[in-house]
Structure 1
């Protein structure tokens, strides 16, 4: 079994297999059961220019990992995958209220970058939950004007985006560039500039969301959870939805500064009502709502079979 469909080299493969063996042997699941699930994930992503990780919510155990070098060391802008955390900050600081409606400008240019909204054109105004579900860039950049300088950077640091997640040995760490202008703050708020993180750092942050108890969650957290469920129901993460398992999650797409291509993310958890796993998918040269979400759906389907 190999987790490195896109990476060659005997040393890299041996390291990957050693880490995966550690994961399998240290898991509380039976070794054969977990091996079967991990191999299902490997088959689901075979040949894809992607990386993916499945983390068990209750104890942060990695149940499956594909393309370990990318998971541990690749840093990239997360795009809209960080919007749940931005929305939580906006609500907690009173920058927006859940019911406040912001009109979508749709055609959006910030600091010379074209960042048009990709949701269906019939959606023209958004409250907080809808803005997250349909990933309205216009909503988030407008609301970000109301944040104080440094608030986003502090929140992202608190979430662990500048330090290894601790999920695997040998991890890299993300970086955050302080926003020195309103435009920089707006770009940071939609995850396309000023922040680069590893897939494992994003998984660790989503674990915090997955561990929230809806009965005791704050009003801001409840809106975020509802928005993530809506994203797979009618929003831009519908491709991650399965018939067998309820899913909550968010896609993200951001350009790669090294070339003209974009890379894609999906981050989410299932079952949506009582999460057992967090899944993060990263796709080189992909689009979040299509490639990454489609791969995530395969992983959720494999997990549902594993549960039966």
Structure 2
């Protein structure tokens, strides 16, 4: 063979090898990622052509698939879509999927490993493959109560079972209707999408767990109080509570709400400081404890740690390296402290559960089409941020907040409620956020709740956590306690 032929043979051989390697790489190595890519239209047609399992809350399907006479085969439908959208998410031909639709996609479309034997039975019997049903922990009554109580105000509500971590309600407003995104009229879907993106209320954001986190205001005083108790104080320890506190190294003066005095003597017990939410007292406690102790206690409650429920939760955060005046402001939930409503519900739940923090979760079980449980969530302990003794003292202090302190509008006849108010400043030109977090019954909690109402809601700059958020929490707690234990 002459030299040109040898060179040509070598080039052809290299090309064949490159083709084989490339084909193998695409078909075997990249196949999983390509199949799961939401831009893969073939995957969408294949998925829409199969029966997608329902999403269930309280024994009723809130998301279903029904046969339709078009190229997709099935239409995804959302009952009461606005109410559940932050949880279920959407399943769209154009824009893919979010929420439970995304995180449990393989279970819903029937391709999950846990459904292997069901698919094998389908192959043998000739039965049509159907996706599994996903059962949520959401209680429809509690969810509706939270939705109704929040009204037309922007904000979020989260309710947990403190003993298990099961999420009983997750409401975010404003919300959106997933049905407009699941439509097979692609032009109308795109129009709806652009409208949602342009909406200044950001309805696609689940405010309960994601998006822009909030300054917690005085609800963070629970963490400051916990740090104080863990470092040797008791509920009856006297603390300084001046009318005004000049922040260290500055001429800035910190005042209490309305410029009032917390005590005629300039001192009070830690319990009373929490009961009336004394800013100067807790700022001084923060200075005395120092940033490291406050940060350690916040992190013990879950700040700065990744979490999913199964959707990813934005991490709450305590400032990295605050100086003394910044530490004082951080101790009252201001400066750069930021939280999600879920985080504050977890703080209240841990206190109510004797210092044991449970892992929050949204999915109770996954069932195959013959209703066999193929996966189930077992409650698990996330951590123990405080001792049982500290939890008991904090509980009693929170009971005082509702009994005759700033949280009296959360009172429920015949039920002892433990709670904490918060009014979180943002910038001078907008009204503060109104907060309330609580658990009940205080002696044996069945529900923990956190409420945030953005920029004071209907009361605007006149709002406080006790006036705006506490009544919302009360309605949610009443609904939760009406459940069968």
TM range (shorter): 0.7 to 0.9
- Which residue does the alignment assign to 1:77? 215
**For residues 235-246 of structure 1, what are the structure 2 equivalents within 5 Å?**
235-246=405-416
1:279 aligned residue (445, 449, 452): 449
1:192 aligned residue (315, 320, 334): 334
Q: What is the DSSP-based 3-state SS (H/G/I as helix, E as strand, rest coil) of the residue aligned with 2:153?
A: coil
Q: What is the DSSP-based 3-state SS (H/G/I as helix, E as strand, rest coil) of the residue aligned with 2:83?
A: coil
Higher mean alpha-carbon deviation, 102-111 vs 156-165, is at 102-111
- Which residue does the alignment assign to 2:150? 45
1:222-242 deviations in whole A, cap 9, x for unaligned?
A: 321111010000011111111
**For residues 151-170 of structure 1, what are the structure 2 equivalents within 5 Å?**
151-170=293-312
Contact 1:5 1:47 in 2 (8 A): no
Q: What is the DSSP-based 3-state SS (H/G/I as helix, E as strand, rest coil) of the residue aligned with 1:25?
A: strand
Relative distance call for 1:3 and 1:194 in structure 2 (3 A) is same
Aligned: 1:265 with 2:435: yes
**For residues 130-169 of structure 1, what are the structure 2 equivalents within 5 Å?**
130-169=272-311
- Which residue does the alignment assign to 1:55? 160
TM-score if structure 2 supplies the norm length? 0.55
The Cα of 1:306 is off from its aligned counterpart by 3.3
Task: Quote the Cα distance in structure 2 between the aligned partners of 1:149 and 1:257.
Answer: 23
Contact 2:407 2:420 in 1 (8 A): yes
Relative distance call for 1:100 and 1:224 in structure 2 (3 A) is same
1:112-151 deviations in whole A, cap 9, x for unaligned?
A: 3654245975743420111111111121122223214411
The Cα of 1:194 is off from its aligned counterpart by 2.7
Q: What is the DSSP-based 3-state SS (H/G/I as helix, E as strand, rest coil) of the residue aligned with 1:105?
A: coil
- Which residue does the alignment assign to 1:25? 135
Contact 1:3 1:17 in 2 (8 A): no
- Which residue does the alignment assign to 2:480? 303
Task: Quote the Cα distance in structure 1 between the aligned partners of 2:482 and 2:291.
Answer: 47
The Cα of 1:256 is off from its aligned counterpart by 1.6
TM-score if structure 1 supplies the norm length? 0.83
For the aligned residue pairs, the C-alpha RMSD in angstroms reads 3.4
The Cα of 1:217 is off from its aligned counterpart by 5.4
1:156-215 deviations in whole A, cap 9, x for unaligned?
A: 12211223443341321222223432111111111111311111122222221121079x
Contact 2:256 2:262 in 1 (8 A): no
The Cα of 1:37 is off from its aligned counterpart by 3.2
Higher mean alpha-carbon deviation, 218-227 vs 115-124, is at 115-124
1:293 aligned residue (451, 462, 470): 470
Aligned: 1:35 with 2:140: yes
In structure 2, list runs of 5 or more residues that go unmatched.
Answer: 1-79, 109-132, 173-204, 357-385, 457-463
Task: Quote the Cα distance in structure 2 between the aligned partners of 1:252 and 1:207.
Answer: 17
Task: Report which structure shows greater RCO (CA 8 Å, sep ≥6).
Answer: 1
1:37-73 deviations in whole A, cap 9, x for unaligned?
A: 3223322323222210111112111111111710111
Equivalent pairs counted in the alignment come to: 298
Q: What is the DSSP-based 3-state SS (H/G/I as helix, E as strand, rest coil) of the residue aligned with 2:480?
A: helix
User: Larger Rg: 1 or 2?
Assistant: 2
In structure 1, list runs of 5 or more residues that go unmatched.
Answer: none
- Which residue does the alignment assign to 2:354? 212
The Cα of 1:280 is off from its aligned counterpart by 0.5
Aligned: 1:232 with 2:337: no
Relative distance call for 1:218 and 1:305 in structure 2 (3 A) is closer
